[in-house]
Chain A
């Protein structure tokens, strides 16, 4: 028994942090907010992440992937959350690449090389991230995954989400075909887990950002971080985060080893990660005061990512209901 991350996982996280410190400063995140910005998948940031092998975390080494499991996925996406990395991370890493790996031919190699963009969404959503650049569309439901190619679908208007670095487009039509042998439930669990992992990273960064700020900002002749009211806000946010993180990694483990409660554990992870991140956002904003409420301050890039992820891959309420049904009705989970 050991509930901690392995030294390999810590090393992998350190390597990603090093790259993101250089390649994904807040200015890069903010650049994606420009309505005229090119899709993130065409940027240098995305190129660096591709070269690092990030997108192939769940693909086997024989097909050019990292050969990692869902715990590795969670470690890497939590780190991406710390940097508010923009773009279709969940769609690519948690769903798209594993789905492409089920397809014959060079599809997965093309996705990993960047020659082909894959995107994914829950069945019935009616929109996809990066639909205007994607060549391959994957729909996730409880059964088998369904796929369509760009020429099969009609890409419509942009869906204006609160996080402007997120590019969603309405998608209609499509001759959807089942991907034989694929496991839609597992893909959905991976996507939800990916959301939860990013949320704990976002929470972590908002707390540390605020800890820095309250030591610099002085009122009444001393740093506001010396005041108990401020300390207690931040302590409360840290307590929530430190009790959400183990829930997320437990869920990752449950998915990785196909444990019987994987679905329940993943929903629990989404609920706790969301609550922790939503609380961290509130605390961060309150402790920053008016400057945090301004458009120009970077805090809003992190907060809005949290808000945008709240309903992603199942609303928080839907995931709460999954947990309640598993606990109270013994529903299959």
Chain B
């Protein structure tokens, strides 16, 4: 163990903090999941990109600053501590980009990474279908070969695509093989949604924002150059993305550390409640959970920088952060007391937190993964 901060990290933190303080938009921003809020968020995210802070851990040529994972964690801490919201670009940069770096061709990286980081393209995920949720490998949307066009024709329906209503592109899994092949018959496609044969229908979430979309495909074209990984190799690419989605890439500790700090301040600001032992204990629990997630992430990052792959360990993280997020927001509502029924930022946070145990693979699926791949229990 060596927990001394490198001099360059202290510099990096200071630089990030100063830039964010000088350039932050008026807060809070409107919801990045609503038609009126998206343009405001995109303007801010473009500014973030122009300042060189959109994707700090990426190579400079794609708009990053070659920061390592420690500095990425620092940036995330500063970003959320400044009160900034989750980004519209998030699903592209957190979920697709790791797959592009690992499996993409040079041409794919050139065409997509910079535009994704600068929010010129907005990406959504196209995995779930009406009949394929936890059992993702049973999905039925198909890609049919069109040699004349030099690509694949997509058919079927994707659902629950986050920000699908505002996205220009989708990364999705489609069946190029047979239904019986399950995992082995899937291919990962990079799809332009602005073409004939695609229709997007916004779907309102629990909080009323049109944060989801149903996306219907009826012969839309994907060229061969937009197949990510091998034809039939989509599952492998998707699972690499899933590792990122489940652990630090999508949900960095900074987000929860900042929420816990806000919760502490919320209780401190409530005269008469800040000495209530039950509220104190609940708030301290949230603070501890956020810290524990940060500390366990540091162990994971130490391993990654030493060449380790994040495998099933990501499932430990996913269950932990999603449950801590629910508990933290529940505690905030307890602190609010009589006003807990208002449509407040904490209530919005609570509603959003309830999606955590469901998306990115339900916590039941994660517990199966933990039991089978980490503890070695038999599948059946």
Within 8 A of A (CB), among B261-289: 264, 267-268, 274, 280-281, 283-284, 287-288
Q: Is the CB of B368 within 8 A of A228?
A: yes
Q: Give chain A nearest CB distance to B313 CB in angstroms.
A: 8
0/1 string, B211-231, CB within 8 A of A gives 1: 000000000000000000000
Q: Is the CB of A327 within 8 A of B283?
A: yes
**Residue A193 CB within 8 A of the other chain:** no
Q: Is the CB of B367 within 8 A of A243?
A: no
Q: Give chain B nearest CB distance to A272 CB in angstroms.
A: 6
Known A-B contacts A320-B284, A324-B281; the reply to A243 vs B1 at CB < 8 A is no
Q: What residues of A have a CB within 8 angstroms of the CB of B370 in the complex?
A: 231, 235, 238-239
Q: Is the CB of A1 within 8 A of B364?
A: no
Q: How far is the CA of A211 from the CA of B280 in the complex (A)?
A: 37
0/1 string, A211-246, CB within 8 A of B gives 1: 100110000001101101011101110110011111
Q: What residues of B have a CB within 8 angstroms of the CB of A211 in the complex?
A: 375-377
Q: What residues of B have a CB within 8 angstroms of the CB of A320 in the complex?
A: 281, 284
Q: Is the CB of B1 within 8 A of A328?
A: no
**Residue B195 CB within 8 A of the other chain:** no
Contacts between chains A and B (CB distance < 8 A), count: 129
**Residue A151 CB within 8 A of the other chain:** no
Within 8 A of A (CB), among B311-350: 313, 316, 319-320
**Residue B11 CB within 8 A of the other chain:** no
Known A-B contacts A226-B380, A253-B1; the reply to A327 vs B371 at CB < 8 A is no
- Tell me the nearest residue of chain B to A248, going by C-beta: B295
Q: What residues of A have a CB within 8 angstroms of the CB of B188 in the complex?
A: none
Q: What residues of A have a CB within 8 angstroms of the CB of B3 in the complex?
A: 1, 3, 250, 253
Q: What residues of B have a CB within 8 angstroms of the CB of A262 in the complex?
A: none
Q: Is the CB of A323 within 8 A of B284?
A: yes
Point out the residue from B5, B295, B320 that lies within 8 Å of A1, measured CB to CB.
B5
**Residue B372 CB within 8 A of the other chain:** yes
Point out the residue from B281, B306, B367, B379 that lies within 8 Å of A232, measured CB to CB.
B367
**Residue B374 CB within 8 A of the other chain:** yes
**Residue A247 CB within 8 A of the other chain:** yes
- Tell me the nearest residue of chain A to B368, going by C-beta: A231
Q: How far is the CA of A234 from the CA of B372 in the complex (A)?
A: 10
Q: How far is the CA of A246 from the CA of B303 in the complex (A)?
A: 13
Known A-B contacts A211-B377, A235-B367; the reply to A1 vs B372 at CB < 8 A is no
**Residue B75 CB within 8 A of the other chain:** no
Q: What residues of B have a CB within 8 angstroms of the CB of A223 in the complex?
A: 378
Known A-B contacts A228-B364, A246-B296, A328-B267; the reply to A268 vs B291 at CB < 8 A is yes
Residue of B283, B284, B301 contacting most chain A CB atoms (<10 Å): B284
**Residue A249 CB within 8 A of the other chain:** yes
**Residue A21 CB within 8 A of the other chain:** no
Q: What residues of A have a CB within 8 angstroms of the CB of B288 in the complex?
A: 247, 268, 271-272, 323
Q: Is the CB of B299 within 8 A of A328?
A: no
**Residue B4 CB within 8 A of the other chain:** yes
**Residue B298 CB within 8 A of the other chain:** yes
Q: What residues of A have a CB within 8 angstroms of the CB of B267 in the complex?
A: 328
Residue of A3, A247, A250 contacting most chain B CB atoms (<10 Å): A3
0/1 string, A263-281, CB within 8 A of B gives 1: 0000010011000000000
Q: What residues of A have a CB within 8 angstroms of the CB of B380 in the complex?
A: 222, 226
Q: How far is the CA of A249 from the CA of B262 in the complex (A)?
A: 27
Point out the residue from A214, A232, A327 that lies within 8 Å of B287, measured CB to CB.
A327
Within 8 A of A (CB), among B353-380: 364, 366-368, 370-372, 374-380
**Residue A296 CB within 8 A of the other chain:** no
Known A-B contacts A226-B378, A238-B370, A253-B3; the reply to A243 vs B298 at CB < 8 A is no
**Residue B293 CB within 8 A of the other chain:** yes
Q: Is the CB of A328 within 8 A of B316?
A: no
Q: Give chain A nearest CB distance to B309 CB in angstroms.
A: 15
Q: Is the CB of B1 within 8 A of A71?
A: yes
Q: Is the CB of A324 within 8 A of B283?
A: yes
Q: How far is the CA of A6 from the CA of B2 in the complex (A)?
A: 9
Q: Is the CB of A247 within 8 A of B281?
A: no
**Residue B42 CB within 8 A of the other chain:** no
- Tell me the nearest residue of chain B to A251, going by C-beta: B295
Residue of B268, B319, B368, B375 contacting most chain A CB atoms (<10 Å): B375
Q: Is the CB of A3 within 8 A of B320?
A: no
**Residue A5 CB within 8 A of the other chain:** yes
Q: Give chain A nearest CB distance to B346 CB in angstroms.
A: 18
Question: 27 A-B residue contacts at CB 8 Å?
Answer: A1-B3, A1-B5, A1-B9, A1-B70, A3-B295, A4-B1, A211-B376, A226-B377, A226-B379, A231-B370, A231-B372, A232-B367, A232-B368, A234-B375, A235-B366, A236-B367, A238-B374, A239-B370, A243-B295, A246-B295, A249-B1, A250-B295, A320-B284, A323-B284, A327-B287, A328-B264, A328-B284
Q: Which residues of A contact B (CB under 8 A)?
A: 1-6, 71, 207, 211, 214-215, 222-223, 225-226, 228, 230-232, 234-236, 238-239, 242-247, 249-250, 253, 268, 271-272, 320, 323-324, 327-328
Q: Which residues of B contact A (CB under 8 A)?
A: 1-6, 9, 70, 264, 267-268, 274, 280-281, 283-284, 287-288, 291-293, 295-296, 298-299, 301-303, 306, 313, 316, 319-320, 364, 366-368, 370-372, 374-380
Beyond A3-B295, A243-B295, A247-B292: 17 further Cβ-contacts under 8 Å?
Answer: A1-B4, A3-B299, A4-B302, A4-B306, A211-B375, A211-B376, A242-B296, A243-B316, A245-B296, A246-B292, A246-B296, A246-B298, A272-B288, A324-B281, A324-B284, A327-B287, A328-B267
